Structure 1
Amino acid sequence: MAVFVALGAFLMTLFGGWTAQRVTDRRHLVLGLAGGLMLGVVGLDLLPEAVRAAGQEVFGVPQALLLFVGGFLVAHLVERLLAARQAAHGAGPGEESHGMGGAGDRAPQMGLTAAAAMVGHSVMDGVALGAAFQVSGGVGTAVALAVIAHDFADGFNTYTLTSLYGNDRRRAVIMLVADAVAPVVGAASTLLFILPEEALGSYLGFFGGALLYLAAAEILPEAHHEHPARSTLLCTVLGVGFVWLVVGFAG
Protein backbone atom coordinates (compact mmCIF):
# COMPACT_ATOMS: atom_id res chain seq x y z
CA MET A 1 0.00 0.00 0.00
CA ALA A 2 2.81 2.42 0.92
CA VAL A 3 4.53 1.95 -2.46
CA PHE A 4 1.26 2.63 -4.29
CA VAL A 5 0.67 5.82 -2.29
CA ALA A 6 4.28 6.88 -2.97
CA LEU A 7 3.41 6.99 -6.68
CA GLY A 8 1.22 9.99 -5.83
CA ALA A 9 4.29 11.67 -4.34
CA PHE A 10 6.18 10.84 -7.54
CA LEU A 11 3.60 12.65 -9.67
CA MET A 12 3.31 15.61 -7.30
CA THR A 13 7.10 16.09 -7.28
CA LEU A 14 7.18 16.19 -11.08
CA PHE A 15 4.32 18.67 -11.07
CA GLY A 16 6.22 20.93 -8.68
CA GLY A 17 9.28 20.86 -10.93
CA TRP A 18 7.18 21.51 -14.02
CA THR A 19 5.65 24.55 -12.30
CA ALA A 20 9.12 25.90 -11.50
CA GLN A 21 10.11 25.58 -15.19
CA ARG A 22 7.04 27.34 -16.54
CA VAL A 23 7.46 30.60 -14.61
CA THR A 24 11.02 31.54 -15.59
CA ASP A 25 9.88 35.04 -16.60
CA ARG A 26 8.83 35.66 -13.00
CA ARG A 27 11.98 34.25 -11.43
CA HIS A 28 11.91 36.51 -8.38
CA LEU A 29 8.39 35.34 -7.57
CA VAL A 30 9.46 31.70 -7.99
CA LEU A 31 12.37 32.21 -5.60
CA GLY A 32 10.21 34.08 -3.11
CA LEU A 33 7.67 31.26 -3.13
CA ALA A 34 10.42 28.63 -2.89
CA GLY A 35 11.92 30.39 0.12
CA GLY A 36 8.54 30.51 1.82
CA LEU A 37 7.86 26.84 1.11
CA MET A 38 11.27 25.85 2.46
CA LEU A 39 10.83 27.98 5.58
CA GLY A 40 7.37 26.52 6.15
CA VAL A 41 8.50 22.93 5.65
CA VAL A 42 11.37 23.39 8.13
CA GLY A 43 9.57 25.35 10.84
CA LEU A 44 6.11 23.81 10.66
CA ASP A 45 6.77 20.24 9.52
CA LEU A 46 10.34 18.93 9.80
CA LEU A 47 11.44 20.51 13.08
CA PRO A 48 8.35 19.67 15.17
CA GLU A 49 8.45 16.08 13.91
CA ALA A 50 12.19 15.86 14.63
CA VAL A 51 11.78 17.11 18.21
CA ARG A 52 8.91 14.71 18.79
CA ALA A 53 10.88 11.72 17.52
CA ALA A 54 14.33 12.63 18.92
CA GLY A 55 13.62 15.06 21.75
CA GLN A 56 15.87 13.55 24.40
CA GLU A 57 18.25 16.15 25.78
CA VAL A 58 22.01 16.27 25.31
CA PHE A 59 23.55 18.61 27.88
CA GLY A 60 20.30 20.49 28.29
CA VAL A 61 19.33 20.76 24.59
CA PRO A 62 17.06 18.40 22.62
CA GLN A 63 19.10 16.16 20.31
CA ALA A 64 17.03 17.14 17.28
CA LEU A 65 17.77 20.84 17.86
CA LEU A 66 21.50 20.20 18.18
CA LEU A 67 21.42 18.39 14.85
CA PHE A 68 19.33 21.21 13.41
CA VAL A 69 22.08 23.71 14.28
CA GLY A 70 24.67 21.23 13.01
CA GLY A 71 22.89 20.94 9.67
CA PHE A 72 22.81 24.73 9.33
CA LEU A 73 26.54 24.99 10.05
CA VAL A 74 27.46 22.13 7.71
CA ALA A 75 25.51 23.76 4.87
CA HIS A 76 27.29 27.05 5.56
CA LEU A 77 30.67 25.31 5.63
CA VAL A 78 30.03 23.46 2.37
CA GLU A 79 28.93 26.66 0.64
CA ARG A 80 32.00 28.55 1.86
CA LEU A 81 34.38 25.76 0.80
CA LEU A 82 32.82 25.59 -2.66
CA ALA A 83 33.00 29.37 -3.01
CA ALA A 84 36.67 29.36 -2.00
CA ARG A 85 37.40 26.54 -4.43
CA GLN A 86 35.71 28.43 -7.25
CA ALA A 87 37.68 31.61 -6.44
CA ALA A 88 40.92 29.63 -6.48
CA HIS A 89 40.14 28.33 -9.97
CA GLY A 90 39.72 31.56 -11.85
CA ALA A 91 38.01 34.36 -9.93
CA GLY A 92 40.52 37.17 -9.66
CA PRO A 93 40.17 40.27 -7.54
CA GLY A 94 38.11 42.00 -10.18
CA GLU A 95 35.87 38.98 -10.59
CA GLU A 96 35.05 38.50 -6.96
CA SER A 97 31.56 37.25 -6.28
CA HIS A 98 29.04 39.62 -4.72
CA GLY A 99 26.27 37.45 -3.38
CA MET A 100 24.54 35.44 -6.09
CA GLY A 101 23.99 38.13 -8.63
CA GLY A 102 24.88 36.19 -11.77
CA ALA A 103 25.16 32.62 -12.99
CA GLY A 104 28.90 32.93 -13.27
CA ASP A 105 29.16 33.75 -9.54
CA ARG A 106 27.63 30.46 -8.44
CA ALA A 107 29.22 27.09 -7.84
CA PRO A 108 27.15 24.51 -9.74
CA GLN A 109 28.32 21.86 -7.28
CA MET A 110 26.44 23.66 -4.51
CA GLY A 111 23.22 23.40 -6.48
CA LEU A 112 23.80 19.70 -7.12
CA THR A 113 24.67 19.13 -3.46
CA ALA A 114 21.53 20.91 -2.32
CA ALA A 115 19.41 18.97 -4.81
CA ALA A 116 21.03 15.72 -3.68
CA ALA A 117 20.03 16.61 -0.12
CA MET A 118 16.47 17.10 -1.34
CA VAL A 119 16.62 13.65 -2.96
CA GLY A 120 17.86 12.18 0.31
CA HIS A 121 15.03 13.89 2.13
CA SER A 122 12.52 12.46 -0.36
CA VAL A 123 13.90 8.96 0.24
CA MET A 124 13.24 9.52 3.93
CA ASP A 125 9.75 10.76 3.06
CA GLY A 126 9.12 7.38 1.50
CA VAL A 127 10.65 5.59 4.48
CA ALA A 128 8.43 7.61 6.84
CA LEU A 129 5.43 6.74 4.67
CA GLY A 130 6.21 3.03 4.76
CA ALA A 131 6.90 3.13 8.52
CA ALA A 132 3.57 4.89 9.11
CA PHE A 133 1.69 2.16 7.30
CA GLN A 134 3.54 -0.37 9.46
CA VAL A 135 1.91 1.28 12.47
CA SER A 136 -1.66 1.45 11.11
CA GLY A 137 -3.71 2.40 8.08
CA GLY A 138 -4.93 5.59 9.76
CA VAL A 139 -1.45 6.83 10.59
CA GLY A 140 -0.31 5.89 7.09
CA THR A 141 -3.12 7.89 5.51
CA ALA A 142 -2.28 11.01 7.55
CA VAL A 143 1.40 10.80 6.67
CA ALA A 144 0.55 10.12 3.02
CA LEU A 145 -1.48 13.33 2.83
CA ALA A 146 1.41 15.38 4.23
CA VAL A 147 4.04 13.71 2.04
CA ILE A 148 2.09 14.00 -1.21
CA ALA A 149 1.14 17.61 -0.56
CA HIS A 150 4.59 18.87 0.39
CA ASP A 151 6.32 16.89 -2.36
CA PHE A 152 5.04 19.61 -4.67
CA ALA A 153 7.34 21.94 -2.72
CA ASP A 154 10.15 19.37 -2.93
CA GLY A 155 9.93 19.16 -6.72
CA PHE A 156 9.64 22.92 -7.02
CA ASN A 157 12.65 23.47 -4.77
CA THR A 158 14.80 20.72 -6.31
CA TYR A 159 14.49 22.18 -9.80
CA THR A 160 14.94 25.74 -8.52
CA LEU A 161 17.99 24.94 -6.38
CA THR A 162 19.75 23.06 -9.18
CA SER A 163 19.20 25.74 -11.82
CA LEU A 164 19.78 28.65 -9.41
CA TYR A 165 23.45 27.76 -9.06
CA GLY A 166 24.16 27.81 -12.79
CA ASN A 167 23.39 24.19 -13.74
CA ASP A 168 21.77 23.67 -17.13
CA ARG A 169 18.21 22.46 -17.68
CA ARG A 170 19.29 18.85 -18.33
CA ARG A 171 20.93 18.54 -14.92
CA ALA A 172 17.96 20.20 -13.23
CA VAL A 173 15.56 17.72 -14.88
CA ILE A 174 17.77 14.76 -13.92
CA MET A 175 17.75 15.86 -10.27
CA LEU A 176 14.00 16.46 -10.44
CA VAL A 177 13.35 12.93 -11.74
CA ALA A 178 15.66 11.49 -9.07
CA ASP A 179 13.71 13.41 -6.43
CA ALA A 180 10.43 12.09 -7.83
CA VAL A 181 11.60 8.46 -7.79
CA ALA A 182 13.13 8.78 -4.31
CA PRO A 183 9.94 8.42 -2.19
CA VAL A 184 8.96 5.30 -4.12
CA VAL A 185 12.38 3.80 -3.39
CA GLY A 186 12.12 4.81 0.26
CA ALA A 187 8.65 3.31 0.66
CA ALA A 188 9.74 0.09 -1.01
CA SER A 189 12.75 -0.19 1.32
CA THR A 190 10.48 -0.41 4.37
CA LEU A 191 9.39 -3.82 3.17
CA LEU A 192 12.86 -4.98 4.25
CA PHE A 193 13.40 -3.24 7.62
CA ILE A 194 11.86 -1.15 10.38
CA LEU A 195 13.45 2.30 10.90
CA PRO A 196 13.92 3.39 14.56
CA GLU A 197 11.94 6.53 15.31
CA GLU A 198 14.90 8.27 16.93
CA ALA A 199 17.05 7.85 13.81
CA LEU A 200 14.33 9.37 11.64
CA GLY A 201 13.94 12.34 14.01
CA SER A 202 17.67 12.96 14.08
CA TYR A 203 17.84 13.00 10.30
CA LEU A 204 14.91 15.40 10.01
CA GLY A 205 16.55 17.80 12.47
CA PHE A 206 19.85 17.83 10.58
CA PHE A 207 18.20 18.22 7.19
CA GLY A 208 15.96 20.99 8.50
CA GLY A 209 19.00 23.03 9.53
CA ALA A 210 20.61 22.66 6.11
CA LEU A 211 17.38 23.58 4.36
CA LEU A 212 16.87 26.66 6.52
CA TYR A 213 20.36 27.87 5.64
CA LEU A 214 19.63 27.57 1.93
CA ALA A 215 16.35 29.44 2.31
CA ALA A 216 17.64 32.25 4.52
CA ALA A 217 21.14 32.74 3.13
CA GLU A 218 20.67 31.99 -0.57
CA ILE A 219 17.13 31.72 -1.91
CA LEU A 220 15.44 34.70 -0.24
CA PRO A 221 18.33 37.18 -0.71
CA GLU A 222 18.45 36.25 -4.40
CA ALA A 223 14.68 36.67 -4.71
CA HIS A 224 14.95 40.29 -3.49
CA HIS A 225 18.25 41.12 -5.21
CA GLU A 226 16.82 42.65 -8.37
CA HIS A 227 13.12 42.76 -7.53
CA PRO A 228 12.61 43.97 -3.93
CA ALA A 229 8.86 44.04 -4.59
CA ARG A 230 5.94 43.48 -2.27
CA SER A 231 4.75 40.73 -4.58
CA THR A 232 7.92 38.75 -3.84
CA LEU A 233 7.37 39.09 -0.11
CA LEU A 234 3.74 38.07 -0.59
CA CYS A 235 4.84 34.91 -2.41
CA THR A 236 7.11 34.05 0.52
CA VAL A 237 4.24 34.50 2.98
CA LEU A 238 1.95 32.45 0.76
CA GLY A 239 4.53 29.66 0.65
CA VAL A 240 4.65 29.51 4.44
CA GLY A 241 0.86 29.67 4.62
CA PHE A 242 0.47 26.82 2.15
CA VAL A 243 2.68 24.53 4.25
CA TRP A 244 0.75 25.57 7.37
CA LEU A 245 -2.50 24.50 5.71
CA VAL A 246 -0.98 21.19 4.66
CA VAL A 247 0.28 20.48 8.16
CA GLY A 248 -3.06 21.53 9.66
CA PHE A 249 -5.15 19.31 7.41
CA ALA A 250 -2.74 16.39 7.81
CA GLY A 251 -2.88 16.71 11.59
Structure 2
Amino acid sequence: MAVFVALGAFLMTLAGGWTAQHVTDRRHLVLGLAGGLMLGVVGMDLLPEALAAAGTEVHGVPAALLLFVAGFLLAHGVERLLAARRSAHGADEHERTPEVGLTAAAAMVAHSAMDGVAIGAAFQIGEGMGVAVALAVIAHDFADGFNTFTLTTLYGNARRRAVAMLFADAVAPVVGAASTLLVTIPQPVLGGYLGLFGGALLYLAAAEILPEAHHRHTAGPTLLCTIGGAAFIWLVVGIAE
Protein backbone atom coordinates (compact mmCIF):
# COMPACT_ATOMS: atom_id res chain seq x y z
CA MET A 1 0.00 0.00 0.00
CA ALA A 2 2.76 2.46 0.94
CA VAL A 3 4.61 1.90 -2.34
CA PHE A 4 1.41 2.37 -4.34
CA VAL A 5 0.60 5.64 -2.57
CA ALA A 6 4.19 6.85 -3.11
CA LEU A 7 3.53 6.76 -6.86
CA GLY A 8 1.51 9.92 -6.31
CA ALA A 9 4.67 11.64 -5.09
CA PHE A 10 6.44 10.36 -8.21
CA LEU A 11 3.89 12.03 -10.50
CA MET A 12 3.75 15.27 -8.50
CA THR A 13 7.54 15.62 -8.54
CA LEU A 14 7.60 15.25 -12.32
CA ALA A 15 4.84 17.87 -12.58
CA GLY A 16 6.94 20.33 -10.57
CA GLY A 17 9.99 19.75 -12.74
CA TRP A 18 7.94 20.09 -15.94
CA THR A 19 6.64 23.46 -14.72
CA ALA A 20 10.18 24.69 -13.99
CA GLN A 21 11.29 23.72 -17.51
CA HIS A 22 8.55 25.63 -19.32
CA VAL A 23 8.87 29.07 -17.75
CA THR A 24 12.42 29.88 -18.85
CA ASP A 25 11.38 33.26 -20.30
CA ARG A 26 10.56 34.36 -16.75
CA ARG A 27 13.61 32.84 -15.12
CA HIS A 28 13.89 35.50 -12.43
CA LEU A 29 10.30 34.82 -11.35
CA VAL A 30 11.00 31.08 -11.33
CA LEU A 31 14.02 31.62 -9.09
CA GLY A 32 12.06 33.93 -6.81
CA LEU A 33 9.34 31.30 -6.46
CA ALA A 34 11.92 28.56 -5.89
CA GLY A 35 13.56 30.63 -3.15
CA GLY A 36 10.21 31.09 -1.41
CA LEU A 37 9.37 27.40 -1.70
CA MET A 38 12.75 26.44 -0.28
CA LEU A 39 12.40 28.92 2.60
CA GLY A 40 8.94 27.58 3.38
CA VAL A 41 10.03 23.94 3.22
CA VAL A 42 12.93 24.61 5.61
CA GLY A 43 11.10 26.79 8.13
CA MET A 44 7.68 25.14 8.15
CA ASP A 45 8.38 21.51 7.25
CA LEU A 46 11.96 20.32 7.72
CA LEU A 47 12.87 22.09 10.97
CA PRO A 48 9.68 21.21 12.88
CA GLU A 49 10.01 17.57 11.81
CA ALA A 50 13.71 17.54 12.69
CA LEU A 51 13.10 18.98 16.16
CA ALA A 52 10.31 16.49 16.81
CA ALA A 53 12.36 13.50 15.68
CA ALA A 54 15.73 14.50 17.17
CA GLY A 55 14.72 16.37 20.28
CA THR A 56 17.77 15.56 22.41
CA GLU A 57 19.98 18.47 23.43
CA VAL A 58 23.73 18.82 23.17
CA HIS A 59 25.18 21.36 25.59
CA GLY A 60 21.84 23.12 25.89
CA VAL A 61 20.98 23.21 22.16
CA PRO A 62 18.71 20.74 20.31
CA ALA A 63 20.79 18.38 18.21
CA ALA A 64 18.64 19.10 15.16
CA LEU A 65 19.47 22.83 15.36
CA LEU A 66 23.19 22.12 15.73
CA LEU A 67 23.04 20.00 12.58
CA PHE A 68 21.00 22.72 10.88
CA VAL A 69 23.83 25.20 11.48
CA ALA A 70 26.35 22.55 10.42
CA GLY A 71 24.44 22.03 7.16
CA PHE A 72 24.46 25.76 6.44
CA LEU A 73 28.20 26.00 7.09
CA LEU A 74 28.87 22.81 5.11
CA ALA A 75 27.09 24.20 2.04
CA HIS A 76 28.97 27.49 2.40
CA GLY A 77 32.29 25.71 2.82
CA VAL A 78 31.77 23.45 -0.20
CA GLU A 79 30.87 26.40 -2.41
CA ARG A 80 33.89 28.42 -1.25
CA LEU A 81 36.25 25.49 -1.81
CA LEU A 82 34.93 24.94 -5.33
CA ALA A 83 35.18 28.66 -6.06
CA ALA A 84 38.77 28.73 -4.81
CA ARG A 85 39.63 25.73 -6.98
CA ARG A 86 38.17 27.43 -10.04
CA SER A 87 40.06 30.62 -9.22
CA ALA A 88 43.32 28.68 -8.92
CA HIS A 89 42.76 27.35 -12.44
CA GLY A 90 42.17 30.83 -13.84
CA ALA A 91 38.36 30.76 -13.91
CA ASP A 92 36.08 33.47 -12.52
CA GLU A 93 35.54 32.87 -8.80
CA HIS A 94 31.87 33.88 -9.09
CA GLU A 95 31.12 31.64 -12.07
CA ARG A 96 28.48 29.04 -11.34
CA THR A 97 29.95 25.65 -10.48
CA PRO A 98 28.02 22.67 -11.90
CA GLU A 99 29.16 20.42 -9.05
CA VAL A 100 27.31 22.61 -6.52
CA GLY A 101 24.07 22.23 -8.47
CA LEU A 102 24.47 18.47 -8.73
CA THR A 103 25.28 18.20 -5.02
CA ALA A 104 22.24 20.26 -4.09
CA ALA A 105 20.02 18.20 -6.39
CA ALA A 106 21.43 14.99 -4.89
CA ALA A 107 20.49 16.29 -1.45
CA MET A 108 16.95 16.88 -2.74
CA VAL A 109 16.87 13.27 -3.98
CA ALA A 110 17.99 12.02 -0.56
CA HIS A 111 15.31 14.15 1.08
CA SER A 112 12.65 12.70 -1.25
CA ALA A 113 13.82 9.19 -0.34
CA MET A 114 13.33 10.10 3.32
CA ASP A 115 9.83 11.30 2.42
CA GLY A 116 9.14 7.82 1.09
CA VAL A 117 10.51 6.32 4.30
CA ALA A 118 8.14 8.57 6.25
CA ILE A 119 5.20 7.27 4.21
CA GLY A 120 6.20 3.66 4.82
CA ALA A 121 6.77 4.22 8.54
CA ALA A 122 3.38 5.94 8.89
CA PHE A 123 1.63 3.00 7.23
CA GLN A 124 3.33 0.72 9.75
CA ILE A 125 1.53 2.70 12.48
CA GLY A 126 -1.85 2.61 10.74
CA GLU A 127 -3.58 3.18 7.41
CA GLY A 128 -5.10 6.50 8.50
CA MET A 129 -1.71 7.85 9.58
CA GLY A 130 -0.15 6.59 6.35
CA VAL A 131 -2.69 8.36 4.14
CA ALA A 132 -2.28 11.64 6.06
CA VAL A 133 1.51 11.59 5.75
CA ALA A 134 1.30 10.56 2.09
CA LEU A 135 -0.99 13.50 1.27
CA ALA A 136 1.44 15.91 2.92
CA VAL A 137 4.39 14.43 1.00
CA ILE A 138 2.55 14.44 -2.32
CA ALA A 139 1.49 18.06 -1.83
CA HIS A 140 4.99 19.39 -1.26
CA ASP A 141 6.71 17.12 -3.80
CA PHE A 142 5.61 19.54 -6.52
CA ALA A 143 7.96 22.05 -4.87
CA ASP A 144 10.68 19.39 -4.61
CA GLY A 145 10.55 18.66 -8.34
CA PHE A 146 10.46 22.36 -9.15
CA ASN A 147 13.47 23.06 -6.94
CA THR A 148 15.49 20.03 -8.11
CA PHE A 149 15.31 21.07 -11.77
CA THR A 150 15.92 24.75 -10.93
CA LEU A 151 18.93 24.07 -8.70
CA THR A 152 20.58 21.80 -11.27
CA THR A 153 20.22 24.21 -14.19
CA LEU A 154 21.05 27.33 -12.17
CA TYR A 155 24.65 26.19 -11.75
CA GLY A 156 25.24 25.60 -15.45
CA ASN A 157 24.38 21.93 -15.80
CA ALA A 158 22.95 20.74 -19.11
CA ARG A 159 19.22 20.12 -19.39
CA ARG A 160 19.74 16.34 -19.70
CA ARG A 161 21.47 16.30 -16.30
CA ALA A 162 18.64 18.31 -14.79
CA VAL A 163 16.07 15.90 -16.24
CA ALA A 164 18.07 12.93 -14.90
CA MET A 165 18.17 14.45 -11.41
CA LEU A 166 14.46 15.25 -11.65
CA PHE A 167 13.67 11.64 -12.54
CA ALA A 168 15.86 10.41 -9.66
CA ASP A 169 14.01 12.77 -7.32
CA ALA A 170 10.67 11.42 -8.57
CA VAL A 171 11.69 7.77 -8.09
CA ALA A 172 13.22 8.36 -4.65
CA PRO A 173 9.95 8.40 -2.61
CA VAL A 174 8.91 5.09 -4.16
CA VAL A 175 12.29 3.55 -3.29
CA GLY A 176 12.12 5.02 0.22
CA ALA A 177 8.65 3.62 0.82
CA ALA A 178 9.73 0.20 -0.48
CA SER A 179 12.75 0.19 1.86
CA THR A 180 10.49 0.30 4.92
CA LEU A 181 9.34 -3.19 4.03
CA LEU A 182 12.84 -4.32 5.05
CA VAL A 183 14.28 -1.83 7.57
CA THR A 184 13.25 0.96 9.91
CA ILE A 185 15.36 4.14 10.29
CA PRO A 186 15.62 5.35 13.91
CA GLN A 187 13.80 8.64 14.48
CA PRO A 188 16.86 10.48 15.91
CA VAL A 189 18.88 9.65 12.78
CA LEU A 190 16.06 10.82 10.53
CA GLY A 191 15.69 14.03 12.53
CA GLY A 192 19.40 14.75 12.39
CA TYR A 193 19.45 14.32 8.63
CA LEU A 194 16.48 16.67 8.20
CA GLY A 195 18.25 19.33 10.27
CA LEU A 196 21.47 19.02 8.27
CA PHE A 197 19.64 19.12 4.95
CA GLY A 198 17.54 22.09 6.06
CA GLY A 199 20.63 24.16 6.83
CA ALA A 200 22.17 23.43 3.44
CA LEU A 201 18.90 24.22 1.66
CA LEU A 202 18.52 27.53 3.48
CA TYR A 203 22.05 28.54 2.45
CA LEU A 204 21.32 27.84 -1.20
CA ALA A 205 18.07 29.81 -1.03
CA ALA A 206 19.49 32.84 0.78
CA ALA A 207 22.98 33.05 -0.69
CA GLU A 208 22.43 31.78 -4.23
CA ILE A 209 18.85 31.47 -5.48
CA LEU A 210 17.35 34.76 -4.24
CA PRO A 211 20.34 36.99 -5.12
CA GLU A 212 20.31 35.54 -8.64
CA ALA A 213 16.54 36.08 -8.87
CA HIS A 214 16.91 39.81 -8.14
CA HIS A 215 19.95 40.33 -10.34
CA ARG A 216 19.15 42.91 -13.06
CA HIS A 217 15.38 42.59 -12.60
CA THR A 218 12.65 44.66 -10.96
CA ALA A 219 12.36 43.51 -7.36
CA GLY A 220 8.57 43.80 -6.93
CA PRO A 221 7.25 40.86 -9.01
CA THR A 222 10.11 38.59 -7.93
CA LEU A 223 9.51 39.40 -4.27
CA LEU A 224 5.83 38.59 -4.67
CA CYS A 225 6.78 35.21 -6.15
CA THR A 226 9.05 34.54 -3.17
CA ILE A 227 6.32 35.43 -0.69
CA GLY A 228 3.85 33.35 -2.69
CA GLY A 229 6.17 30.33 -2.59
CA ALA A 230 6.55 30.52 1.20
CA ALA A 231 2.79 31.07 1.61
CA PHE A 232 2.08 28.00 -0.55
CA ILE A 233 4.17 25.78 1.74
CA TRP A 234 2.37 27.29 4.75
CA LEU A 235 -0.95 26.38 3.13
CA VAL A 236 0.22 22.83 2.39
CA VAL A 237 1.49 22.31 5.95
CA GLY A 238 -1.75 23.69 7.38
CA ILE A 239 -3.89 21.37 5.26
CA ALA A 240 -1.69 18.39 6.17
CA GLU A 241 -2.16 19.13 9.87
- The answer to whether the 8 Å contact 2:50/2:195 transfers is yes
Match of 1:183, as an amino acid? Answer: P
2:223 corresponds to: 233
**CA offset digits 1:3-34 (Å, max 9, x no partner):** 01110000000000000000000000000000
**CA offset digits 1:99-123 (Å, max 9, x no partner):** xxxxxx1111111011011111111
Structure 1 residue 144 and structure 2 residue 122: aligned? no
In 1: Cα distance, 2:19 partner to 2:11 partner: 12
Structure 1 residue 200 and structure 2 residue 190: aligned? yes
Helix, strand or coil: the match of 1:202? helix
Report how many aligned residue pairs link the two structures. 241
Helix, strand or coil: the match of 2:231? helix
In 2: Cα distance, 1:3 partner to 1:62 partner: 33
Structure 1 residue 165 and structure 2 residue 160: aligned? no
1:100 corresponds to: none
| 1:142, distance to aligned residue in structure 2 (A) | 1.4
2:24 corresponds to: 24
> Where has structure 1 moved over 3 Å in runs of 4 or more?
none
1:84 corresponds to: 84
**CA offset digits 1:121-160 (Å, max 9, x no partner):** 1111111111111111121111111110111011000000
Q: Percent identity?
A: 79
Structure 1 residue 121 and structure 2 residue 111: aligned? yes
Match of 2:6, as an amino acid? Answer: A
User: Where does structure 1 lack aligned partners over 5 or more consecutive residues?
Assistant: 98-104
In 2: Cα distance, 1:134 partner to 1:63 partner: 26
* TM-score for the superposition, normalised by structure 2: 0.98
**CA offset digits 1:51-72 (Å, max 9, x no partner):** 0111111100001100110111
> CA, structure 1 residues 228+187, in 2 after alignment: closer, same or farther (shift >3 Å)?
same
- The answer to whether the 8 Å contact 2:115/2:176 transfers is yes
Helix, strand or coil: the match of 1:192? coil
1:102 corresponds to: none
In 1: Cα distance, 2:200 partner to 2:229 partner: 18
Match of 2:67, as an amino acid? Answer: L
> CA, structure 1 residues 96+127, in 2 after alignment: closer, same or farther (shift >3 Å)?
closer
User: Where does structure 2 lack aligned partners over 5 or more consecutive residues?
Assistant: none
1:63 corresponds to: 63
In 1: Cα distance, 2:158 partner to 2:14 partner: 17
| 1:96, distance to aligned residue in structure 2 (A) | 4.7
**CA offset digits 1:181-240 (Å, max 9, x no partner):** 111100000000122111111111111001000000000010001213211000000000
* TM-score for the superposition, normalised by structure 1: 0.94
| 1:85, distance to aligned residue in structure 2 (A) | 1.2
2:236 corresponds to: 246
In 2: Cα distance, 1:96 partner to 1:14 partner: 33
Root-mean-square deviation (CA, aligned residues, Å) is 0.9
